[in-house]
Amino acid sequence: MSSNDEHVNLPDLVKQITIHYIEFYYKKFADKYLDKKVPLEDLRTFVAEMYDTKQLDLKKYIRSSLKDNLQDKYSTTATENLLLEMFADPTYAKERVVQEILSKQK
């Protein structure tokens, strides 16, 4: 990192990592739809299943990606606090993912 990157916006970085992770699975899921646009109810079901079944994998992926990207600037405490906050409200978290995917489908 350059000296201009001294202050890392951890929430933004985690958001980017999370979106990348979910997009990987979403692209596979969306392949079964001809126009690659998943109906809203199917999308909500997909996101709920991902959240429930891949939550631990996502946390590991976030930690690993942050360690790789931040190296000596990685903070276990800041990361764990952010993950606790991120997963504290499952309904809100799922809806944010749904809205992010919907915006990319358009």
Is residue 87 a contact partner of residue 55, using CB atoms and an 8 Å limit?
A: yes
Residue pLDDT, tens place only, 51-97: 889 999 999 999 999 999 999 999 999 999 999 998 899 899 889 88
Q: Any idea what DSSP says for residue 4?
A: G
Residue pLDDT, tens place only, 30-62: 888 877 788 899 999 999 998 889 999 999 999
Write out the two tokens for 8: 């890392």
Give the predicted TM-score (pTM) of the model.
0.80
Sequence spans of domains, the chain: 7-105
